[in-house]
């Protein structure tokens, strides 16, 4: 059953698939509760809600017996030039990912029901109180690296994670082991020190947090380290040796449009709301919004260059 599920997941376009028994995470409780108690989650208030469900999967689905984790590669087949340009994270080049992943997870869900009988299932893609990275690691599709991202030994870390909870009793894959070793390239590369404690992200120092989620002004100490990044940050991923194995995604929806590939600093600085809506109508950047993107550009642009 496990082999058949993995084969079907790969056929549906996922890059990796693993299975784990639906067992709670008592070992994570001290870290998680302390993380919340000291306010390290910043404005991510959703992390505080449903803490017990995150640590106890059966509270989300009482019938759950197994968890299936899949990875979907988003590494773009063509990179937007970064030299002398403003930079957006590679995951945001193309279409937003939940609408692309959910139908494939639904197809895998149907495969389970058609081949292994009636079962209760739930799907999660960047939604619901689940510890996605912890489950991905337990399912054996990767380990959580010193940059806190899931790394697959053969494919790197440019992936989205999807989960299926099922009442089926499935054979589990062995969990992946940490393969970072003594390497700290991601830690040293982070310009703001957000990874100074390996395996833990200090959200308040993270460029991605401030350029995507932070609703206030970008702090001065972050501004001076943006290095032309206006949406997200891939520095710790770009530095990871395992990403030398990154294979371009075959999913056309993750490719940048010709208009986005042609954007240069002067184009970003004069970007209008209409252009923004056209460039990012199906992209994750749209959720952040025009005003915030232009705020980020203004934080970097030489005085007077940005029309915002």
Task: Given the residues 24, 96, 126, 234, select the one marked as catalytic.
Answer: 126
Cα angle 11, 129, 98 (rounded to 5 degrees) comes to: 40
* Element containing residue 124 per DSSP (H, E): strand 121-124
CB 306 within 8 A of CB 294: yes
> 2 by DSSP, 3-state: which?
helix
Q: Report the C-alpha gap between 170 and 156 in whole angstroms.
A: 27
- Residue 126 annotated in active site: yes
Instruction: Please compute, for residue 76, the number of CA atoms within 13 A of its CA located in the half-sphere on the CB side.
Output: 20
Residue whose structure tokens are 């294979």: 247
Residue of 34, 24, 87 lying closest to 56 (CA atoms): 24
Any alpha helices (H) in the chain, and if so which ranges? 2-11, 29-37, 51-55, 98-116, 132-138, 185-189, 207-208, 220-223, 235-238, 258-262, 265-269, 273-279, 285-288, 290-300
Active site residues: 126
């Amino acid at each position: 059953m496990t082999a058949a599920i993995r084969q079907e997941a790969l056929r549906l376009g996922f890059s990796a698939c693993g299975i784990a028994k639906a067992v709670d995470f008592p070992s994570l409780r001290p870290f998680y509760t302390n993380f919340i108690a000291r306010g390290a989650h910043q404005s991510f208030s959703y992390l505080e809600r449903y803490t017990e469900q995150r640590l106890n999967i059966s509270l989300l689905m009482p019938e759950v017996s197994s968890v299936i984790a899949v990875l979907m590669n988003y590494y773009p087949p063509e990179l937007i030039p970064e030299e002398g340009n403003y930079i957006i994270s590679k995951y945001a080049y193309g279409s937003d990912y939940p609408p692309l992943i959910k139908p494939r997870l639904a197809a895998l869900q149907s495969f389970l029901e058609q081949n292994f009988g009636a079962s209760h299932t739930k799907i999660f893609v960047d939604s619901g109180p689940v510890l996605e990275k912890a489950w991905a690691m337990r399912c054996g599709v990767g380990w959580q690296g010193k940059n806190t991202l899931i790394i697959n030994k053969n494919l790197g870390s440019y992936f989205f994670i999807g989960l299926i909870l099922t009442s089926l009793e499935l054979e589990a894959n062995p969990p992946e082991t940490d393969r970072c070793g003594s390497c700290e390239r991601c830690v040293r590369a982070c310009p703001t020190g957000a990874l100074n404690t390996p395996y833990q992200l200090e959200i308040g120092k993270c460029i991605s947090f401030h350029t995507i989620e932070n609703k206030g002004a970008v702090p001065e100490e972050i501004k001076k380290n943006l290095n032309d990044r206006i949406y997200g940050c891939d520095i710790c991923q770009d530095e990871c040796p395992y990403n030398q194995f990154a294979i371009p995604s075959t999913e056309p929806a993750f490719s940048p449009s010709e208009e986005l590939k042609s954007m240069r600093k002067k184009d970003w600085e004069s970007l209008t709301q209409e252009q923004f809506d056209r460039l990012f109508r199906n992209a994750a950047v749209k959720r952040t919004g025009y005003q915030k993107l232009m705020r980020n550009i203004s934080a970097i642009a030489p005085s007077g260059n940005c029309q915002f």
